[in-house]
Amino acid sequence: MKRSSLNIVNLTLRELSTGISSGDISPLDLIEATLERISRLNPELNAFITVLEKSARQDAKSAELLIKQGKYKGPLHGIPVCLKDLIYMKGVRSTSGSKILSDFVPDYDSTVVKKLKDAGAIILGMNNTHEFACGITNINPHYGSSKNPWDISRMSGGSSGGSAVAVSAGMAPVSIGTDTSGSIRVPSSLCGLFGLKPTYGRVSKYGVQELAPSIDHIGPIAKCAWDIAAVLQTISGYDELDSSTVDIPVPNYINVLSEKQEKQGKRSDNFKVGIPVQFFFDIIDSKVMNVFDKFLDKLHACGISTEPVDVQKTDRIIDTWRVIRLGESAAVHKEWIESRRGDYGENVIVMLERGMEITAVEYINAHKMRKEIRTAFLEAMKDYDALLVPTTIISAPKLDQTMVNINEKNAMEVYQALSRLTTVFDITGLPAMNVPAGFIEEEKKKLPIGVQLVGKPFNEEMLLRISHNYDEYYRISEEMVPSLYA
């Protein structure tokens, strides 16, 4: 086949790795097709800040040679991967979507990048992000806003918005994002993707620009659950360079998904999922609620049962998250707030200055409360394989929107609306995965909406098994290709 003649639009990481391992797909052809698509689509969608054309081609050539020599490393070998632009790669500019770090070039690889390279992945470039990951819209005054491939007049969500846009539009099969308030799950929901925030401590944060260190998470965004599994088993594990990581074994997640339906006496179509009664449905757009209800019907049809469950302490979620997120972010940025205030975008500096007002008493009490909230969720899910809640209470807002009016009754800031249902799983550190649930129609355009599967600590495999079971049954990921970019 000729170089760049490969059609990559609908191909998952799983399909690409199968083709590469069998010799049917050349890593060089794959990289050329990928770079061509980025060149054509990125000027409009603005998913990348930096594209590494030269090194990507060199790495593809090396991967092709090794594979021909019988030295195939595994499912990520020869696969193009992109990174949110605050994950450090040696010798590559890492802006964090900011003016302040516009010329910063790290002299070492983050642990995540090192593991990806060791697995044979090819780093394509750096994805656009909300400035310093300090927001959830991906409206960026310094590098432009990433645009939703389902409707370019709408937000991608953030702060891993460029990552979601790149995968949704077929510019990369997978991206690595970060999540402090919902920044993997929200853009995954709005762009129709699978996105996993692992358990806090599962993936090393070494070499990643901090936002709020006690609630920052690293995780993958991809087209299907199998793809998430392949990336998660690559980037997970204890890291002596990151004291927040936990030294427990990392499952072979691909094998978990490949095993027969029978596992430890429990059929995979016999999952039991709890749906919290409190908080998550108090404020939600009626169209989003309709998608959630239809998603439940689909789950039931493929043998997954659901039951309502009570969760305590939910009235304390927002205030607890706010104090920790704002307080820690202000501490991280204190020196720059004082010396380079004018170099921040307006919405980011306002948020950081609010953090400067958080008192030590408030911060300490918030950490006490986060433990109580975590305990309440663990108690709620003790008899269930996972919990299930919506990811966002609205679909993707317009790029110029700052407020939304939900069901003509609840006027809210866009940030508050998009992050309302995601922040609790950052402060509790529980694994949470966005699963594409369906579409709503706005202005004659289909907009994706997701749901969150929430698991017990370090039990990501359960979320992967449930979502994989659902995806294999309905082939839902095959529907999630924006028509403009098909």
Distance between CA 422 and CA 440 in Å, rounded?
20
Q: What is the pLDDT of residue 270?
A: 85
Distance between CA 359 and CA 74 in Å, rounded?
49
Q: What is the pLDDT of residue 269?
A: 56
CATH of 13-256+263-312+376-485, one of 3.90.1300.10, 3.40.50.970, 3.40.50.1000, 3.40.50.720: 3.90.1300.10
The residue annotated as part of the active site, out of 146, 156, 163, 183, is 183
- Catalytic-residue membership of 160: no
Mean pLDDT of 401-406: 96
The residue annotated as part of the active site, out of 84, 115, 205, 445, is 84
Size of the chain in residues: 486
Q: What is the pLDDT of residue 109?
A: 98
pLDDT, tens digit, for every residue of 222-240?
999 999 999 999 999 999 9
Q: Residue 268: is its pLDDT beyond 70?
A: no
Q: Residue 9: is its pLDDT beyond 90?
A: no
Phi, psi of 8 (to 5 degrees): -100, 0
The residue annotated as part of the active site, out of 17, 26, 145, 159, is 159
Q: How confident is the model at residue 422 (pLDDT cuts 50, 70, 90)?
A: very high
Cis amide prior to 159 (ω within 30 degrees):
yes
pTM of the model: 0.97
Q: Give the DSSP per-residue string, 263-288.
A: ETTEEGGG-EEEEE-SSTTTS--HHH
- Catalytic-residue membership of 159: yes
Q: Where are the domains of the chain?
A: 13-256+263-312+376-485
Is residue 20 classed as helix, strand or coil in its secondary structure?
Answer: helix
What is the H or E stretch that residue 387 is in? Answer: strand 386-390
Distance between CA 486 and CA 358 in Å, rounded?
47
Q: Residue 263: is its pLDDT beyond 60?
A: no
One-letter amino acid of 93:
R
pLDDT, tens digit, for every residue of 77-127?
999 999 999 999 999 999 999 999 999 999 999 999 999 999 999 999 999
Distance between CA 313 and CA 322 in Å, rounded?
15
Strand extents, DSSP E, 338-384: none
- Catalytic-residue membership of 183: yes
